[in-house]
C-alpha cells in the first residue's frame, strides 16, 4: 500500500522485520577492500557480547583515511570460540583469504569469532563521515560494531540511499 508515492509506516516496518539484524562494523580500509575484492572470505572479531547470526547484514564503515560507509555483506557461517579454536577451525577451510596478520587481531582473546562473508556489495556512492555528521550531528562510528535498530534514521538512510544502486563484487 502506498500513499502519495511513500510507503506507509506499516509497510516499511513489515519490510524491515523480514530482514535479519543489521550491524554497522568498522573495518580498516586494507581489510575492507579485501572483502569487496572477493579475497577475504571471513571477518575476524574479538567477541564482546554481540554475535551476528547467519543471514544478518554487516554494513561496512571503512575507518582510517577512507572514513565512509562503503558497502555491506551477508553473514554466512559464524565460528565462535577462543582465538586458537577459531583459527584452528579456519585453517581447515580452504580459501579463507586470511593470513597471519589477520590472526594477530584476535590472538590471545578468550572469545573471538569469524564471520563468513557472503554476497559482498560495494555501494556506488559511499556515505562519508562528513555526510553522516551533517545529517546526524555528533555521529561516531563504532569502535568495533553495533546493531542498527529498525527505527533508527541511519538504518533508513542506508536502505533508501546507499542501497539504491549497489554492485555485487563476487558471486
- Write out pLDDT tens, residues 17-37: 456 789 999 999 999 999 999
pLDDT at 118: 97
pLDDT at 153: 84
pLDDT at 15: 47
* Model confidence at 42: pLDDT above 60: yes
**DSSP code at position 136:** S
CA dihedral 142, 171, 103, 123 (to 10 degrees): -30
pLDDT at 169: 57
**DSSP code at position 59:** E
pLDDT at 19: 61
**In the chain, where are the structural domains located?**
2-168
**DSSP code at position 87:** H
SS3 label, residue 90: helix
Looking at 3.40.630.30, 2.30.130.30, 3.40.50.720, 3.40.50.300, the CATH number of the domain 2-168 comes to 2.30.130.30
140 — pLDDT class (breaks 50, 70, 90): very high
pLDDT at 170: 52
SS3 label, residue 42: strand
* Model confidence at 167: pLDDT above 80: no
Exposed e or buried b per residue across 84-113, where buried means at least 16 C-beta atoms within 10 angstroms of its C-beta = eebbeebeeeeebebeeebbebbeebebbb
**Mean pLDDT across the chain:** 84
Lowest average pLDDT, out of 22-31, 64-73, 127-136, 145-154, goes to: 145-154
First to last CA, the chain: 33
Q: Which of 8-12, 46-50, 93-97 has the highest mean pLDDT?
A: 93-97
2, containing H or E segment? strand 2-3
From the list 22, 67, 143, 52, the residue with the least C-alpha distance to 42 is 52
pLDDT at 82: 94
Region 135-162: mean pLDDT is: 83
Amino acid at each position: 500500500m502506498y500513499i502519495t508515492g511513500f510507503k506507509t509506516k506499516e509497510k516499511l516496518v513489515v519490510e524491515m522485520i523480514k530482514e535479519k539484524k543489521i550491524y554497522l562494523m568498522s573495518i580498516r580500509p586494507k581489510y575492507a577492500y579485501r572483502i569487496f575484492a572477493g579475497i577475504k572470505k571471513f571477518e575476524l572479531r574479538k567477541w564482546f557480547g554481540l554475535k551476528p547470526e547467519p543471514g544478518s547484514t554487516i554494513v561496512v564503515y571503512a575507518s582510517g583515511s577512507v572514513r565512509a560507509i562503503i558497502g555491506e555483506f551477508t553473514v554466512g557461517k559464524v565460528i565462535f570460540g577462543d582465538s586458537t579454536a577459531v583459527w584452528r577451525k579456519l585453517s581447515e577451510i580452504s580459501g579463507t583469504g586470511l593470513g597471519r596478520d589477520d590472526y594477530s587481531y584476535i590472538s590471545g582473546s578468550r572469545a573471538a569469532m569469524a564471520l563468513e562473508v557472503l554476497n559482498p556489495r560495494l555501494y556506488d556512492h559511499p556515505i562519508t563521515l562528513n555526510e553522516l555528521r551533517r545529517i546526524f550531528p555528533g555521529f561516531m562510528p563504532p569502535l568495533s560494531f553495533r546493531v542498527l535498530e529498525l527505527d533508527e534514521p541511519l538504518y533508513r538512510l542506508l536502505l533508501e540511499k546507499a542501497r539504491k544502486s549497489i554492485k555485487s563484487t563476487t558471486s
